[in-house]
């Protein structure tokens, strides 16, 4: 960990109007680097708060995963007075993160085009499901929906089984990272021009971009990916193999590594077979190769094969469960589990930041806010509203 000195984004004021995962993760990354992030929720709260499991204090673990370091307030944007309070907050803000459907944003008066005219220095990050234009512009979508729509789910699963979703919401999370990068890029642009900008990201565009070489395989060679379970269709071997007490993932991504793998497995017969010397040959004989390796791996334990293949320089990993990963010494050494103090005073463990700066602490020490926890504080501190007026707004359910 670096020193706990001044963080690079400590002069940044952010309003986070987003919900669920992508936008809130972006806001959390900004807060980790020192930004003053105010999370604004409807009086009913971010829907993410209602998704279990829940911690010892009754708070959603899902919500807590993407909202540390923020102050939380509630505003009823369907009320003219609520929107007026938002606009006052935006007068002082550098960045706004929103995740409304375009039509909903326009109805509420918080669409990027309207706000861009009213607040010309504001960086507006708009997170949507399917993008800012096109026939699906106002269609809602979540991570799994976009995994299906984008073609990612079609290539995921066993060859003879149904497609399956990824176990993690990687499209949501990657979209949040793209939004973070877009915001920092736009801030650099504003530093040069004095003008704000609109950053547009969507789950669909993220997923399409993540198709990567699979997209080019089709665009340029007309080749569609197919499901291969834990393996990949164009490399053999490269997949999960059963051991006597668990599973490992390993493989040979080139012909030299194939020879090392055969040596580690003590299978000179496979190493000397000229039909298996190249990846092309192994792909053609996939079923035979996999059957031979399944039989060999199943004779020994995960620990034995891990040590054996590492000795020969062959990439290998045990199939860890989440608990095993989070308790691993490598996880601890890289500060990927951090400990804060919850509002109740108990220790609260969350995930650390995936990127680190050497000059500062790399996460915000403030726990995720409870619903409306800082409403009174923010309205009085930021907008200078007297306490009695704030209480009246609370009673009238404007906030």
pLDDT (tens digit per residue) in 362-383: 999 999 999 999 999 999 999 9
For residue 220, being part of any structural domain is answered with: no
pLDDT tens by residue, 289-320: 999 999 999 999 999 999 999 999 999 999 99
* Percent of the chain whose predicted confidence (pLDDT) is above 90: 97
**Is omega for the bond preceding 347 within 30 degrees of 0, making it cis?**
no
| Residue in 16, 94, 172, 197 annotated catalytic | 172
| Residue 179 CA: distances (Å) to CA of 191, 289, 336, 354 | 18, 43, 22, 15
172 as an active site residue: the answer is yes
pLDDT of 4 above 60: no
Residue 115, token pair as written in the block: 């706000």
DSSP states along 334-358: TT-EEEEE-TTSSEEEEE--SS--T
> What is the bridge-based pairing of β-strands 238-242 and 247-251?
antiparallel
Whether residues 50 and 114 share a domain: the answer is: yes
Is residue 301 in some structural domain? yes
Domain CATH code at residue 294: 3.30.1540.10
Mean local confidence (pLDDT), 186-192: 98
pLDDT at 65 over 70: yes
Task: Name the one residue in this structure whose structure tokens are 């409403």.
Answer: 375
DSSP state of 6: -
Residues 300 and 244: their CA atoms lie apart, in Å, by 5
Model confidence at 1, in pLDDT bands (50, 70, 90)? Answer: very low
- Based on the domain organization, do 93 and 176 belong to the same domain? yes
- Given this model, what pLDDT does residue 340 score? 97
Domain final position from 265, 286, 318: 318
Residue 6 binned pLDDT confidence (cut-offs 50, 70, 90): confident
How many domains does the chain contain in total? 2
Cα–Cα distance measured from residue 140 to residue 180, given in angstroms and rounded to the nearest whole number: 22
Q: What is the mean pLDDT of residues 350-359?
A: 94
Bridge-based pairing of strands 95-98 and 13-17 is parallel
Give tens-digit pLDDT for 129-187.
999 999 999 999 999 999 999 999 999 999 999 999 999 999 999 999 999 999 999 99
Instruction: Assess whether 20 and 126 both reside in one domain.
Output: yes
Mean pLDDT over each residue of the chain, to the nearest integer: 96
- What pLDDT, in 10s, does the model give residues 42-61? 999 999 999 999 999 999 99
Q: Looking at the domain assignment, is residue 226 inside a domain?
A: no
pTM for this predicted structure? 0.94
**Maximal C-alpha separation, the chain:** 85
Q: At 264, which helix (H) or strand (E)?
A: helix 255-264
Same domain, 135 and 198: yes
Residue 324, number of CB atoms within 10 A of its CB = 11
3 is a domain residue: no
Q: 318, 339, 361 — which closes off a domain? A: 318
Q: How does pLDDT run across 210-249, given as a tens digit for each residue?
A: 999 999 999 999 999 999 999 998 999 999 999 999 999 9
pLDDT at 344 over 90: yes
Q: How far apart are CA 18 and CA 104, in angstroms?
A: 13
| Confidence check: pLDDT of 99 > 60 | yes
pLDDT at 212: 97
Tell me how far apart the alpha carbons of residues 166 and 181 are, in angstroms, rounded to a whole number: 24
Q: Which of 6, 72, 74, 55 lies closest to 34, judged by CA?
A: 6
Asked if 97 and 179 count as a contact pair (C-beta separation under 8 A), the reply is: yes
Q: Would you state the pLDDT for residue 359?
A: 87
- DSSP H or E stretch at residue 150: helix 143-150
Q: How far apart are CA 176 and CA 27, in angstroms?
A: 8
Q: Please report, for the domain that includes residue 92, its CATH number.
A: 3.40.50.10540
- State mean pLDDT over 334-356: 96
Mean pLDDT of the 323-339 span: 97
Asked whether residue 311 falls in the same domain as residue 332, the answer is no
Domain end among 269, 285, 318: 318
Question: What is the three-state SS of 165-217?
Answer: CCCCCHHHHHHHHHHHHHHHHHHHHHHHHCCCEEEEEEHHHHHHHHCCHHHHH
d(CA 170, CA 231): 19
64 with 140, same domain: the answer is: yes
Q: Is the peptide bond before 301 cis (omega within 30 degrees of 0)?
A: no
pLDDT, position 108: 93
- Is 222 a domain residue? no
Q: Write out the two tokens for 228.
A: 């291969």
Question: Does residue 161 sit in the same domain as residue 251?
Answer: no
> How far is the CA of 250 from the CAs of 52, 260, 265, 291, 302, in angstroms?
34, 12, 12, 14, 11
| pLDDT for the residue 3 | 52
Structure tokens at 256: 């030299």
Same domain, 256 and 280: yes
Domain span including residue 64: 13-210+328-395
């Amino acid at each position: 960990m670096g020193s706990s000195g001044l963080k690079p984004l400590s002069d940044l004021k952010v309003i986070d109007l987003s919900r669920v995962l992508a936008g809130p993760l972006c806001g959390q990354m900004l807060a980790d680097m020192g930004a003053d992030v105010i999370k604004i929720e409807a009086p009913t709260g971010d829907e993410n708060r209602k998704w279990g499991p829940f911690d010892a204090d009754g708070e959603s673990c899902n919500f807590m995963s993407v909202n540390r370091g923020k102050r939380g307030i509630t505003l009823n944007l369907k009320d003219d007075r609520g929107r007026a309070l938002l606009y006052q907050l935006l007068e002082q803000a550098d960045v706004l993160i929103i995740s409304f459907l375009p039509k909903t944003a326009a109805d509420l008066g918080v669409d990027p085009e309207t706000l861009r005219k009213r607040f010309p220095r504001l960086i507006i990050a708009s997170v949507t499901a399917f993008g800012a234009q096109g026939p699906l512009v106002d269609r809602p979508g979540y991570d799994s929906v976009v995994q299906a729509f984008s073609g990612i789910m079609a290539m995921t699963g066993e060859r003879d089984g149904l497609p399956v979703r990824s176990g993690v919401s990687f499209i949501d999370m990657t979209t949040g990272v793209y939004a973070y990068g877009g915001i920092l890029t736009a801030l650099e642009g504003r530093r040069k021009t004095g003008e704000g900008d609109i950053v547009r990201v969507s789950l669909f565009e993220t997923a399409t971009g993540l198709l990567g070489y699979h997209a080019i395989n089709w665009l340029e060679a007309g080749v569609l990916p197919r499901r291969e379970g834990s393996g990949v269709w164009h490399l053999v071997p490269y997949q999960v193999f059963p051991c006597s007490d668990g599973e490992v993932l390993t493989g040979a991504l080139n012909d030299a590594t194939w020879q090392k793998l055969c040596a580690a497995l003590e299978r000179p017969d496979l190493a000397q077979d000229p039909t298996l010397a190249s990846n092309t040959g192994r792909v053609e004989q996939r079923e035979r190769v996999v059957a031979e390796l399944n039989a060999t791996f199943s004779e020994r334990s995960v620990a034995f094969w891990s040590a054996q293949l590492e000795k020969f320089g062959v990439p290998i990993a045990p199939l860890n469960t989440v608990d095993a990963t989070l308790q691993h010494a490598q996880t601890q050494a890289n500060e990927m589990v951090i400990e804060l103090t919850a509002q109740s005073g108990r220790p609260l463990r969350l995930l650390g930041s995936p990127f680190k700066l050497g000059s500062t602490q790399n996460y915000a020490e403030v726990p995720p806010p409870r619903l409306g926890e800082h409403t009174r504080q923010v309205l009085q501190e930021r907008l200078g509203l007297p306490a009695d007026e704030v209480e009246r707004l609370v009673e009238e359910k404007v906030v």
